[in-house]
């Protein structure tokens, strides 16, 4: 007998308990299976390492980010000097240690990813779930607003908004959060439209469960795997767009994020002469964003596999 048939034959109370435990087991099972998938575990380890750098980077940085380095033999500033024992990744045009700035720059990059991804997920989930579950005029208004946001270009909107808010690190994250939730909302709405027609939702309504309880106990757990995917994608999008905003000069230049480092190397015209200055932050941004995307896809794949195994065993 299929899982749907078993749910239909059980009482509403049994349906509620079975549904909740079934979803929770799928989520926990996916987290347990993830380490067995070497590719997913590899990208997860990369993100853990980047997060660790964000926490301890400013503490272990060998030099200050604005501490000018001098040649001990000549006493001259080490302008765009190549890698050495004292400075393994070389120095910038101003004589700053590149390694130290990379370590310190990991923290704003991690903060951007986590806060931007959280804003994207929160707004997108709120709009998508509300539109899909409530329906009617509420759905129409929310979806038309989502269509409007789709028509807002990110970079020009960021420039206009930051002109009012002022150039800053937090302003750039806010711009990212209020624009990039639009795709999440559409997909989650379509998921909720399917979920609210399932037997256990109807059974919960039949026993008098309120809409908020149904959403919290039945709808959200069913879209949890998709939400994890969107959160990981949101982290990657937030990091790469913040780096883009930093590169065009609409982010705080005094917070040494990896995007700011790339911009500084470009504006001095020394990207070709001093590749150790420009390549490292660019590579770290690329690796971090790629890891978040592939981790989200890996989690979705593993989660679906765990759900299939769970369904077969019910």
Return the domain boundaries, the chain: 39-70+88-301
- Residue 119: the pLDDT is 92
Instruction: Using DSSP, state whether 77 is helix, strand or coil.
Output: strand
Give phi and psi for 91, each to the nearest 5: -130, 165
Domain 39-70+88-301 has CATH 1.10.3720.10: yes
Q: Please name every residue paired with 70 in a beta bridge, in sequence order, or none if there are none.
A: 77
Q: What is the pTM of this model?
A: 0.78
Residues of the chain with pLDDT under 70: 1-35, 166-167, 303-314
**For the chain, the helix, strand and coil percentages under 3-state DSSP, each to the nearest 5:** 75, 0, 25
- Residue 175: the pLDDT is 83
Say which DSSP state 135 is in.
-
Instruction: Using DSSP, state whether 310 is helix, strand or coil.
Output: helix
Tokens representing 105?
């720059």
Tokens representing 48?
């853990």
- CA dihedral sign, ordered 277, 281, 284, 286: negative
- Residue 314: the pLDDT is 39
CA distance 57 to 103: 4
Buried/exposed code over 20-34 (b: 16+ C-beta within 10 A; e: otherwise): eebbeebbebbeebb
In 3D space, the residue among 11, 222, 236 whose CA is nearest the CA of residue 113 turns out to be 236
- Residue 253: the pLDDT is 74
Give phi and psi for 77, each to the nearest 5: -65, 135
- Residue 246: the pLDDT is 82
Helix (H) or strand (E) holding 9: helix 3-9
């Amino acid at each position: 007998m299929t899982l749907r048939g078993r749910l239909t034959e059980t009482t509403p109370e049994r349906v509620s308990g079975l549904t909740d435990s079934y979803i929770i087991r799928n989520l926990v099972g996916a987290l347990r299976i993830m380490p067995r998938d070497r590719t997913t575990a590899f990208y997860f380890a990369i993100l853990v390492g980047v997060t660790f750098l964000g926490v301890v980077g400013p503490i272990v940085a060998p030099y200050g980010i604005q501490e000018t380095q001098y040649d001990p033999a000549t006493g001259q500033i080490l302008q765009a000097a190549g890698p050495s024992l004292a400075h393994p990744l070389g120095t910038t045009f101003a004589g700053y240690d590149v390694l130290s700035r990379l370590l310190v720059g990991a923290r704003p990059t991690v903060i951007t990813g986590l806060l931007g991804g959280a804003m994207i997920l929160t707004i997108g989930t709120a709009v998508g779930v509300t539109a899909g579950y409530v329906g009617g005029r509420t759905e129409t208004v929310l979806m038309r607003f989502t269509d409007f946001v789709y028509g807002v270009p990110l970079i020009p909107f960021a420039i206009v908004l930051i002109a009012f808010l002022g150039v800053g690190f937090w302003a750039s994250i806010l711009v990212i959060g209020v624009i990039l939730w639009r795709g999440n909302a559409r997909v989650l709405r379509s998921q909720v439209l399917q979920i609210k027609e399932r037997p256990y939702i109807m059974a919960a309504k039949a026993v008098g469960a309120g809409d908020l309880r149904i959403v919290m106990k039945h709808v959200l757990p069913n879209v949890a795997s998709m939400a994890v995917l969107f959160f990981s994608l949101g982290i990657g999008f937030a990091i790469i767009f913040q780096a883009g905003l930093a590169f065009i000069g609409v982010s705080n230049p005094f917070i040494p994020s990896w995007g700011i480092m790339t911009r500084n190397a470009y504006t001095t015209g020394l990207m070709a002469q001093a590749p150790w200055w420009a390549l490292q932050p660019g590579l770290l941004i690329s690796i971090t964003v790629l890891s978040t995307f592939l981790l989200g896809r890996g989690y979705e794949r593993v989660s679906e596999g765990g759900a299939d195994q769970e369904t077969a065993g019910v």
